[in-house]
Every structure is written in structure tokens, then in C-alpha cells.
Structure 1
């Protein structure tokens, strides 16, 4: 089985709870909180592990809630490679309003990493044994982190023969231009920001994804379209697939679950059509779980099998 490593530069202890209604200035009586280790790459690692993949999670472990974070992650069974840092591990807070079924998500910035700490984190990926075939860097960057950090990571991945999958946003995503990643997964909004124009239809969206590939962002570009599915562009291949319809639920971790599904399918050497289908199934399965709970394997396999049976895809290879 091909090894997968994840790198999370800004992990968070996710705290989730429920209350009847969110009102300003009021004391909001909440249900018992749920605590889970989170952050883009952490979520990807948890989903890959839940789906039966071989994965190791690399992350900075700080003071404060860091010990709780590490214990919770160990309890999930995910193999880990924590790197100690001086700052405190951040927390994120999610509140489900039961009266409206709305969800409120509060995200804190996290600690600033010293140059030596960042260097240790990047090199920790190369010290994993056996060497990973895929490295997933996912999530936001810590405050003050140079957006070009993933170019350094790309070089290190090349040293161990790993393909780099990146799911990020903002300046870090824009900085990928010029040949950094094997696969990226922007949203439609992020795709529009990168190409600098509105994208109204299928043809325009596929053309824009191809433009990112031509500009050296990645060999494979997957654009998540939410309730309208996703598209994939690679050399000689253009695919578009509809979303898998599931009952509405918590969207926490849906994007990370999709990245996990995509990467695991790539590691299993599936056809690109099945890679996209499995990623969509993993993302949809995340909507079936409450709060910050992530994807369940039985849900992914069921949704993927149903999608394979329907064969719903537009292939423009």
C-alpha cells in the first residue's frame, strides 16, 4: 500500500456544541462540548486512516491545548509525527443553532512558527519511513508564514519521490504558480480569483482549470463546485461530475474528506474518473455526520458504489 503523509502547519483543537439560538449579548446555554483534533491535513489523515489507507500526520504540537490535541489524535489510531513548538496550539469553535439548523464557525489565527520550527516540520516529512508516495499539505498557514513555503516542500518531496497534493487558499494558493504541486483542489470562488474573471458555465470553468494547469499550478486541477459536483483537468483529460445527493448536515471537514478520497484513490492507482468519483463520495459522506465528526468508511463505500453504478460523468478526454 502506498504511504501517504499529511502536513498541517496550523492545526486546531476543534470544539463543537449546540444551543437553541445564537443571540448577541446573551449567555448561550450550550450542550456538552465535543473535542476533536482538526486542521486541514489532520482531517485528511483521519479520513485516509478511516478509509483503510496508510498515513502519517506531521504537525506542530504546542503548549496549552497541544497535549489534549495530541492525545485525541493518538486515540483515533492515526500514526503521528508531532514537532514541538513554543507557541500554543489554537482552538476553533463550532456552534449548531438547533432552532434554525444554522452553523456558526469561529476560527482563531494560531501561533507564529519560528524559522527553525518551520524547517523541522518540512523536513519531518522526508524522515517518514517508508517514504511517502503522496504528501498532502492542507489548511491555512500560520500567521506570518511565507506563502512560498510550499515551493520548499515541493523540493523536499522531490528528494523522496513523493507527489505533492495541496489544498489551501489565499496568498498560499496564488503562490503555487510556476510548478509546485501534483494536484490542487480550489473551489469555484478560488478558481475565479486566480484567473481574475467570473466563470458562468461548464466550458468557462473547464477552460479556467486548464489555464491553471498551463500556468504550472499543478499537473491535476480538481475544482470543487459544492452542490453542483466537481471537475477535473489533467493532461488529455477533462471530467465533470455531479454531486452525490445526501441529506443536509454539517459541512465541517467535507473539503478535507474530498482531498483524502482523491489522494487515497490516486495512491491506489485508480483511473482519474474513479479518483474524482471517490473524492466526491468522500466529501458527500462528511455531510452525513454531526458536528465536527468526519467521514465514515461505510458511507463512502456505499456512495461510491452507487455513483459507479450510475456512471454519471462527462468525459472530454
Structure 2
């Protein structure tokens, strides 16, 4: 099988529909603008982000029904090399609406349909065959999938020396850390849960991340701080990067853009300080665009240059 430096896996992709409207009044018909459609889901967005930076990845994702067909067409338009796992159940859809007067964004996310036993086995067999330096497991798990499914995938991938990068939450994240992975990207609330704390103050983040590293849960912990920026912690290094001040239009895809920027930088052998800077630059640039779009390369580059 062909070797790839970066492979992303999206078990629970979504066909994202976004629009604008004026006035939110219960029980009245809301007139919306013509919708925009984007291929969504953690790993797909990460691959899109990598492509925007001039990198390459193999994007593995599930697809079912007419929504899945449209999703495939949108991924192909991004000129991303992809491998489709066909499913009997339909791909989910998400809906994002922006209200013109209040500038408020409403995000409606739906659960993904179950995967059959054969479809689960197909996923594992593909992971067994791929040859890659970095495998990105990103996004939520489908309804009915066991919470340790990412853990099983990570265990399988690590047998061939692959560095596993995980961006998920809840029990799925807790389980995969039992296996131990290369990099995780929790927010500060998720990090607190991972170490059994109610909450964490900013000065406590480094120590909490070091706890996970010392326990063998991850080699690198990147803690997203939202509008404040992010902190990268490894065994021997800690880097804080403040988020640049920008006019925020949408937060959709910002976290995935951040992961994409970091994985691309890792694949280019950038030092860890630049890895986190590229992550924050791409994540911040994504908030400058409306709806379900990600970032523009020139905006991410400008933000990165401003950090130097």
C-alpha cells in the first residue's frame, strides 16, 4: 500500500449546511439565504487545513446515502486524496445559522448513525494496512460505537510505529489515553477532567499536562485556551502562544484548523514552538471567515509572521 506522511480518519463526518437569516421568532417562518454546503467532520477538516498550507494527506472517511455522496463530491473538490468507507446508514448533516442583527451563530449538530460490525472491521483492516508517520483521529464517535474504539485503532496503528494524534473528548479521549498516544489537544475543561480535577486555573495547566505526560498518556499535550491562545507541553518544553486579536465571524472548524496547522508543521520538521504558533495562527484565521469555511492561507501566514 502507498505510504503517506499524514493520514486522517473521520468515522463520523457531516454534510455541513450554513446560512444567514434575520430575526428569530418562535412559530414563524424564518426566511434564510441560499445555503452553503461543506464537507465537515474532524479528520476531513484537518485534511482540508493541511491542503490549504500546501501539504498532502490521505483522508479516510465513512460515507452513506445521498448526504454521503454529496460529502464525497465536496471532498473531491478540495483536491484531497481520500479513501471512502461505504456505510449502509446515511452520513449525518449539521446546520449552522447566522442571525444578521444580533451577529449570533446557532449551531445544530446531529449524532452519527451506527456502523455495522463489518464496517467496523473494515476500518480496523484499513488501519492495519496503512503506512504513515502521523495518524490523526479526530471528531466524535458514531452512535453505538464503543468508547474504546479510538483506543483499539491507536493500539493497531502503533504496532507499525505510527505517531497517533487525537482530537476528541469525553470517554473516548479518556480511553485512548490508556493506550498512550503522541499528541492530544484538549481544552482546559477537558484537561481538568482527565486529571480528575473540577477546574483548572491557567497557572495550573502546565503541571496538569505534565501529569499526563509522566503517566505515559501522551508525549505532547496542547491545551486550547480559546480566545487566549494555547499552551504546548512536552517532557522538556512548554510554549504559550497568545491568540492574535481578530474580528471573529465563526468558530466552526477553528479547532480542526489548529490541529491541521500543527500536524502540517510537524510533517515539515518545524520546532515545537513553531508547531504551536502555526496551530494558533490557523485556528485564529478560521474564526475570521463565516459559516463552515476554514481559514485562508494568506491570513494564517500573516498571523504566523506576526508572532515572530
What's the TM-score bracket when you normalise by the shorter of the two chains?
over 0.9
Whether the 8 Å CA contact 1:184–1:217 is kept in 2: the answer is no
TM-score (norm 1): 0.93
> How large is the Cα RMSD of the aligned pairs?
1.5
- Segment drifting more, 119-128 vs 211-220: 119-128
Superposition misfits of 4+ residues, deviation over 6 angstroms: none
Instruction: Report the counterpart of residue 46 of structure 1 in structure 2.
Output: 48
Q: Which whole-Å deviations, capped at 9, do the CAs of 1:266-292 have from their partners, x for residues lacking one? A: 111111111111110010110111110
Q: Which whole-Å deviations, capped at 9, do the CAs of 1:102-150 have from their partners, x for residues lacking one? A: 000111111100122022123324444xx22111010000001111112
Instruction: Report the counterpart of residue 84 of structure 1 in structure 2.
Output: 86
SS of equivalent residue, structure 1 residue 110: coil
Whether the 8 Å CA contact 1:45–1:260 is kept in 2: the answer is yes
Instruction: Report the counterpart of residue 204 of structure 2 in structure 1.
Output: 204
Q: 1:162, CA displacement in angstroms?
A: 1.6
Q: 1:202 to 1:132 in 2, by over 3 A?
A: same
Instruction: Report the counterpart of residue 250 of structure 1 in structure 2.
Output: 250
Instruction: Report the counterpart of residue 240 of structure 2 in structure 1.
Output: 240
Instruction: Report the counterpart of residue 101 of structure 2 in structure 1.
Output: 99
5 Å matches for 1:266-277? 266-277=266-277
Aligned counterparts of 1:283 and 1:65: Cα–Cα separation in 2: 27
Aligned counterparts of 1:126 and 1:177: Cα–Cα separation in 2: 20
Aligned counterparts of 1:302 and 1:270: Cα–Cα separation in 2: 18
Q: 1:291 aligned to 2:291?
A: yes
Aligned counterparts of 1:16 and 1:220: Cα–Cα separation in 2: 34
Q: 1:177 aligned to 2:177?
A: yes
Whether the 8 Å CA contact 1:123–1:156 is kept in 2: the answer is no
Q: 1:2 to 1:112 in 2, by over 3 A?
A: closer
Aligned counterparts of 1:2 and 1:277: Cα–Cα separation in 2: 24
Gaps of 5+ in 2: none
Whether the 8 Å CA contact 2:92–2:112 is kept in 1: the answer is yes
**Aligned match for 2:25, one of 20, 23, 26:** 23
Aligned counterparts of 1:184 and 1:14: Cα–Cα separation in 2: 25
Aligned counterparts of 1:230 and 1:140: Cα–Cα separation in 2: 22
Aligned counterparts of 2:214 and 2:24: Cα–Cα separation in 1: 46
Q: Which whole-Å deviations, capped at 9, do the CAs of 1:202-249 have from their partners, x for residues lacking one? A: 331111111122233211000000111111111111222211211111
TM-score (norm 2): 0.95
Aligned counterparts of 1:185 and 1:23: Cα–Cα separation in 2: 38
Whether the 8 Å CA contact 1:219–1:234 is kept in 2: the answer is yes
Q: 1:250 to 1:159 in 2, by over 3 A?
A: same
Gaps of 5+ in 1: 309-317
SS of equivalent residue, structure 1 residue 183: strand
Aligned residues: 306
